[in-house]
Amino acid sequence: MSRGNQREKAREANLKKQAAQKKGNSMSGSQMQSAKESAAEIMRQKQAAGKPMP
């Protein structure tokens, strides 16, 4: 029996798996930290604008 089809299917599955991994996080640690800080600052501004202090 030929194993070419099984090999081909395994290769396709592996390529799909690798593509899914590449879609994940593409930022470095410092970039991720600065993005988190900017998002937190935006949220603080939104909360301050939405809730007036008594």
- Walk along the chain (54 residues) and give the pLDDT tens digit of each residue: 567 789 999 999 999 998 887 776 677 888 889 999 999 999 999 988 887 655
**pLDDT value of residue 53:** 59
Q: What are φ and ψ of residue 27, in 5° steps?
A: -95, 150
Q: Is residue 8 part of a domain?
A: no
Q: Is residue 17 part of a domain?
A: no
Q: Is residue 16 part of a domain?
A: no
Q: Which amino acid is at 5?
A: N
Q: Is residue 39 part of a domain?
A: yes
CA separation for the pair 13, 11 (Å, rounded): 5
Q: Is residue 5 part of a domain?
A: no
Burial 24-54 (b: 16+ CB within 10 A, else e): eeeeeeeeeeeeeeeeeeeeeeeeeeeeeee
Q: Is residue 33 part of a domain?
A: yes
Q: Is residue 38 part of a domain?
A: yes
Domain tally, the chain: 1
Domain range for 35: 25-54
**pLDDT value of residue 45:** 92
